[in-house]
Structure 1
């Protein structure tokens, strides 16, 4: 039986990992405030989306840690791009179970050695999003748009090369998009908790149910709502909780009927994202499919999934087939244990940090 303190800590972790395949908009930024982050925002004028729509000004917010270093040729050689999941933001990977393991002195991603870049993706955090005022007139962005805007953001930041791209969940999928769109831009890739194939089957079904649940709520009023469509958002949030959770940890967290019901009540009582923001980011994966070009990925890849990931279940057998198509890729399936957290294992760095440490050593450029 968990102590009350341990149960509270686990509840906080599950809350922070539950929303839509990664971290929620309520990711615990306050607990990560000890990191000396620097805020930045770039403005991309007349940004053209894949749909052909344009936005007069696309704002992208980001956080950084550490200092960029330039080699003898003047190129940045220590920049690491960390990409959050659906519904997350730049603070998501400042979660102590990630940052306090990796960013510390001597850590795998020691901020005294590396220049860490944590963007708010389009539609997330302090970057441009539907709830800023355009609602459903906001361009229908996708992962290609997100990656292209990240590349343009780095250009404005004068970062012309990446030591590593590490992405979780949605960020994992964006990592595959990154290397296919900008081959050679990064020395190494660490996609955690995704599959490099079209979003289909149960994964797409649950995303679509979440989207339709919001739209079919009468309060949504064809996006012209004056108050949030609470019932639709509750349905979407419920699906998201199920997708992001793990049976073992949920059983430990709520070992009685009363504890389980209290957990749900607390979960439903917490703030939810804006309805249109949620619709947009759940739908951003609609045309994602890097599988036709996997053979072109020659950059070293460390790809990690966990066996209790409800969104990317190992019984599909997809990862084992796809990894063989990339000449320098390694796939690791983390077995279920007391340390794994279902889909949220991607943030629990203590579980997989040794694999990342070995990978960073293997991909270190020789002087």
Structure 2
């Protein structure tokens, strides 16, 4: 049976876990068992040479999970029969990165003794999941949103022969720096500086008042001035909007998991990899993204170093959703179609 929300439907996904023994992180720490949770739609197809021809890897953002992609604005626009990523045609892999969703994470029990994973660890683990766990030896497309977009830059540079195309959304090809880094440091300092955090040994996330402060910072990072003004046009509605936003982003979130997810960006820097990227590569951002402001020019400078790369920055419009535009497929669907056509092997 298909999954549905409202009038939107899309095919069911199959969930599973892959476990790898004694996974070694780049900082030298290890986990006896690293669990990687995933969902798949469709089935893999092989060509005469035994190469997987139809697998698509989709990666989520910071503090997110694979469930984020099972929504009307994403799955409802992409996975149905006749749509761009029709699950009868493609084998779609949407996984929970290390520290997120159903994968191994601090809240499983180790708390602040969990390895300090970074983005390169997450990508290496994903590669093992895809190849050893799911038996896929080639990807038709690597794509991701926000943190997953940053992972897409890394994937394309670290494994340049493993895919036909790559499409990062809402990300930049540079080390986390400038205002982005400053806001992330505020998030980290707010949690670690709170005595109630107690080196990760709190009883409840809500006891850590610095966690709420961190969420205030996150609200600024992900804000959408145009849409939020429409949603909260007066003082009272603005106050209620913020209160609900904080409540929604607190529910079911563990403070240590949240902190680790933000600190994982410490090793992100795809600049040394850009010239190694060989496949058709499309980077998509939007002009109203508070995390990746277009006026910095970083995307345009970086894409020049990618042999077959191009970028699109959508101008301000009522249809955009700020940083979250990455998850509204109707915004970037036509460009994604173009990329799939450009990278099609005949």
Query: TM class, shorter-chain normalised?
Result: over 0.9
SS at match of 2:267: coil
Note if 1:185 corresponds to 2:162. yes
Note if 1:197 corresponds to 2:177. no
Question: 1:325-356 CA distances to partner (integer Å, 9 max, x unpaired)?
Answer: 11100100011111101100111111110000
Alignment of 1:55-204 (within 5 A): 55-155=31-131, 156-204=133-181
Note if 1:312 corresponds to 2:292. yes
Q: Which of 274, 282, 294 is residue 254 of structure 2 equivalent to? A: 274
Q: Which of 35, 38, 41 is residue 11 of structure 2 equivalent to? A: 35
The offset of 1:231, in angstroms, is: 1.5
Q: Residues of 2 paired with 1:287 and 1:345: CA distance?
A: 25
Q: Residues of 2 paired with 1:188 and 1:300: CA distance?
A: 5
**Residue equivalent to 1:217:** 194
Unaligned segments of structure 2, at least 5 residues: none
Q: Do the aligned partners of 1:46 and 1:56 also contact (CA within 8 Å) in 2?
A: yes
Report the RMSD for the aligned CA atoms in angstroms: 1.4
**Residue equivalent to 1:284:** 264
Q: Residues of 2 paired with 1:332 and 1:235: CA distance?
A: 34
Deviates more, 1:87-96 or 1:270-279: 270-279
Unaligned segments of structure 1, at least 5 residues: 1-28
Q: Do the aligned partners of 2:10 and 2:80 also contact (CA within 8 Å) in 1?
A: no
The offset of 1:293, in angstroms, is: 2.6
Q: Residues of 1 paired with 2:230 and 2:11: CA distance?
A: 31
The offset of 1:30, in angstroms, is: 8.0
Q: Residues of 2 paired with 1:356 and 1:34: CA distance?
A: 19
SS at match of 1:305: strand
Q: Residues of 2 paired with 1:310 and 1:60: CA distance?
A: 31
Question: 1:12-50 CA distances to partner (integer Å, 9 max, x unpaired)?
Answer: xxxxxxxxxxxxxxxxx9848853110111000000000
Q: Residues of 2 paired with 1:52 and 1:230: CA distance?
A: 30
Q: Do the aligned partners of 1:233 and 1:272 also contact (CA within 8 Å) in 2?
A: no
Deviates more, 1:308-317 or 1:240-249: 240-249
The offset of 1:236, in angstroms, is: 1.1
**Residue equivalent to 1:251:** 229
Aligned residues: 338
Q: Residues of 2 paired with 1:169 and 1:351: CA distance?
A: 15
Note if 1:352 corresponds to 2:332. yes
* Higher relative contact order (CA closer than 8 Å, sequence separation 6+): 1
Q: Residues of 2 paired with 1:57 and 1:130: CA distance?
A: 13
Q: Residues of 1 paired with 2:254 and 2:275: CA distance?
A: 39
Deviates more, 1:93-102 or 1:82-91: 93-102
Q: Do the aligned partners of 1:308 and 1:342 also contact (CA within 8 Å) in 2?
A: yes
**Residue equivalent to 1:325:** 305
SS at match of 1:58: strand
Q: Residues of 1 paired with 2:246 and 2:164: CA distance?
A: 42
SS at match of 1:233: helix
Q: Do the aligned partners of 1:219 and 1:227 also contact (CA within 8 Å) in 2?
A: no
Question: 1:252-298 CA distances to partner (integer Å, 9 max, x unpaired)?
Answer: 11111111111112122231521111110001011110112311111
Q: Residues of 1 paired with 2:82 and 2:298: CA distance?
A: 35
Distance 1:166 1:112, change over 3 A: same
Q: Residues of 1 paired with 2:141 and 2:163: CA distance?
A: 6
